[in-house]
């Protein structure tokens, strides 16, 4: 049984398609911690899908709900949990501050080819609908890198099985 020496939640941040949910689930299993996907929680509380929230209320409304949900997940008395966040969460200054204060943030990073390949598997990302995904993902990755790099742990998520990424995260947080 592998145990982390840390006793705070681990929050995975990084671009859409980098593997935050897949890596997070595996990590949680290994640590015997619960896993929560913040995007799923947002959909549950809003009783709407993320594309519906974007369409009906716009991105800034979504960012606000996202911050509230993450704040609830990181409440002082919460048990250690692995949390996967949506790609833009850590780029919102208020949400980022919260995450940095109350958890150990891990930035998962991949090259654009990998992001393109992985995001093509699902059509549930409103930000990729209005243009060429490769162009959008490349631009967002550049724009967001300064925010993501504020996470204390940086792990490369290579194209291929997630096992290696999970092991790198474990080494990072141990």
Binding site feature residues for Mg(2+): 21
The pairs formed by 65-69 with CB atoms below 8 angstroms and a separation of 24 or more are 66/38, 66/42, 66/92, 66/95, 67/92, 67/94, 67/95, 67/98, 69/38, 69/41, 69/42, 69/45
Segment interacting with ligand S3P, rule: CB under 6 A, options 71-79, 98-106, 120-128, 149-157: 120-128
Interacting positions 17-56 with ligand S3P (CB under 6 A): 20, 39, 50
Sheet strands (E) in the chain: 10-13, 35-37, 82-84, 104-109, 153-156
Report in angstroms the alpha-carbon separations of 120 from 2, 15, 101, 113, 165.
34, 14, 34, 11, 20
Nearest approach in angstroms of CB 51 to ligand S3P is: 8
Taking CB under 6 A as the criterion, the residue among 12, 16, 82, 155 binding ligand S3P is: 16
* Cβ within 8 Å of residue 26, ≥6 positions away: 162, 163, 166
Phi-psi group of 95: left, alpha or beta (phi > 0 → left; psi -120 to 50 → alpha; rest → beta) = alpha
- If one asks whether residue 96 binds ligand S3P (CB under 6 A), the answer comes out as no
Whose Cβ is closer to ligand S3P: residue 33's or residue 43's? 43
Whose Cβ is closer to ligand S3P: residue 31's or residue 140's? 140
Taking CB under 6 A as the criterion, the residue among 28, 83, 112, 127 binding ligand S3P is: 127
Segment interacting with ligand S3P, rule: CB under 6 A, options 95-103, 104-112, 121-129, 160-168: 121-129
- If one asks whether residue 65 binds ligand S3P (CB under 6 A), the answer comes out as no
- If one asks whether residue 87 binds ligand S3P (CB under 6 A), the answer comes out as yes
- If one asks whether residue 105 binds ligand S3P (CB under 6 A), the answer comes out as no
Q: Which residues bind ligand S3P (CB under 6 A)?
A: 16, 20, 39, 50, 86-88, 125-127
């Amino acid at each position: 049984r592998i145990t982390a020496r840390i006793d705070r939640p681990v929050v995975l941040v990084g671009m859409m398609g980098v593997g935050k949910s897949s890596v997070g689930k595996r990590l949680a299993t290994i640590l015997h911690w619960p896993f929560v996907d913040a995007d799923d929680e947002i959909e549950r509380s809003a009783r709407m899908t993320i594309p519906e929230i974007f369409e009906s209320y716009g991105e800034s409304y979504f960012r606000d709900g996202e911050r509230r949900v993450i704040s609830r997940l990181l409440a002082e008395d919460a048990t250690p949990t692995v949390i996967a966040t949506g790609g833009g969460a850590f780029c919102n200054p208020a949400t980022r501050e919260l995450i940095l204060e109350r958890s150990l943030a891990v930035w998962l990073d991949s090259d654009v080819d990998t992001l393109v390949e992985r995001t093509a598997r699902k059509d549930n990302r409103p930000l990729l609908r209005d243009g060429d995904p490769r162009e959008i993902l490349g631009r967002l990755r550049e724009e967001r890198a300064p925010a993501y790099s504020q996470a204390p742990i940086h792990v490369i998520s290579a194209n291929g099985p997630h096992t290696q990424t999970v092991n790198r995260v474990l080494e990072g947080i141990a």
